[in-house]
């Protein structure tokens, strides 16, 4: 792995700074788990990814700027770890059957509740870069600007990805037309891999922290 170009060292952290860092890191773990779950679908894989992220974050803590968003910083690490893993292992994103029983709270007046499983499955059929954009903005509550920083791309790109992701989900969820696990479909699978490679090739990848 090529080293990161930005290597400005900061002075070693004091014990109290380390304690602060650890506290913030601890606070952000549930969010890392949620982001990872959305990215890769399977809880066990997601948690592995979070563990990896925590180790990397801890090792790189001197590159964290105190006072900035720990959540955004660690999300960058997590996403880079995710892309690296995906490149090594090819696509392993799988739908988690355990969420199948859960039902989203149906808004008043809606005839048919949307199942959490449908949502999750639909989400996992999206190309990775649109999925992460939608996760960051639509689920994680990041602004477009923050999401753009995390993904290392322009704000307009994030907006475009979110817009397309929403349109795709809208079509799937409103029309009930959710493809089965796309993994089983060779054409779709190849398309996913190609898009993934594009993302992984640095198209939209932020400065590497891993």
Partner 1 sequence: MASGSSEQGNRPAGVPDRSTGAPDASQGGRAGERLGAQANDDEPHQNDRGAADANEAQQPDWANGLRQLYDSVVDEPLPDSFKDLLAQFDDDDDAGDPTQDPETRH
Distance CA 122, CA 134 (A): 12
Which of residues 109, 177, 186, 187 is near partner 1 by CB under 8 A?
109
Q: Interface with partner 1 by CB under 8 A: which range of 47-55, 86-94, 189-197, 199-207?
A: 47-55
Over its C-alpha atoms, the chain yields an Rg (Å, rounded) of: 18
Phi-psi label, residue 41: left if phi above 0, alpha if psi -120 to 50, beta otherwise = left
Exposed, middle or buried, 39 (CB in 10 Å: 0-12/13-18/19+)?
A: buried
> How large is the greatest C-alpha to C-alpha distance in the chain, in angstroms?
59
| Interactions with partner 1, residue window 145-204 (CB under 8 A) | 145-146, 155-156, 159-160, 162-164, 166-171, 173-174
Cβ proximity to partner 1, 139 vs 191, nearer residue: 139
Q: Tell me how far the alpha carbon of residue 44 is from its chain's centroid.
A: 15
Task: Tell whether residue 60 is a contact of partner 1 (CB under 8 A).
Answer: yes
Which of residues 126, 142, 150, 182 is near partner 1 by CB under 8 A?
142
Which of residues 17, 85, 87, 144 is near partner 1 by CB under 8 A?
144
CB atoms closer than 10 angstroms to residue 32: 24
Cβ proximity to partner 1, 87 vs 189, nearer residue: 87
Q: Tell me how far the alpha carbon of residue 207 is from its chain's centroid.
A: 16
Site map for partner 1, 110-139, x if CB under 8 A? x---x-x--xx--x----------xx-xxx
Which of residues 55, 179, 180, 190 is near partner 1 by CB under 8 A?
55
CB 69 within 8 A of CB 146: yes
Cβ proximity to partner 1, 119 vs 188, nearer residue: 119
Cβ proximity to partner 1, 193 vs 195, nearer residue: 195
Which of residues 10, 141, 176, 197 is near partner 1 by CB under 8 A?
141
- Which of 120, 128, 143, 142 has the alpha carbon at shortest distance from 204? 128
CB 150 within 8 A of CB 72: yes
Task: Tell whether residue 76 is a contact of partner 1 (CB under 8 A).
Answer: no
Task: Tell whether residue 37 is a contact of partner 1 (CB under 8 A).
Answer: yes
Which of residues 10, 58, 90, 191 is near partner 1 by CB under 8 A?
58
């Amino acid at each position: 792995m090529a080293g990161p170009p930005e290597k400005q060292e900061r002075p070693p952290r004091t014990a109290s700074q380390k304690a602060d860092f650890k506290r913030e890191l601890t606070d952000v773990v549930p969010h890392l788990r949620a982001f990872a779950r959305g990215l890769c679908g399977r809880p066990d894989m997601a948690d592995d990814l979070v563990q990896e992220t925590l180790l990397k974050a801890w090792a790189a803590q001197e590159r964290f700027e105190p006072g900035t968003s720990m959540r955004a910083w660690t999300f960058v690490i997590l996403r880079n770890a995710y892309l690296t893993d995906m490149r090594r292992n090819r696509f392993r994103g799988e739908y988690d059957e355990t969420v199948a029983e859960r039902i989203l709270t149906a808004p008043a007046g809606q005839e048919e509740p949307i199942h959490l499983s449908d949502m999750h499955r639909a989400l996992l059929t999206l190309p990775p870069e649109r999925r992460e954009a939608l996760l960051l903005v639509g689920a994680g509550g990041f602004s477009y600007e923050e999401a753009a920083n995390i993904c290392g791309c322009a704000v307009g790109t994030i907006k475009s990805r979110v817009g397309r992701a929403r349109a795709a989900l809208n079509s799937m969820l409103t029309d009930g037309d959710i493809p089965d696990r796309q993994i089983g479909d060779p054409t779709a699978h190849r398309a996913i891999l190609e898009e993934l490679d594009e993302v992984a090739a640095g198209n939209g990848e932020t400065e590497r922290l891993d």
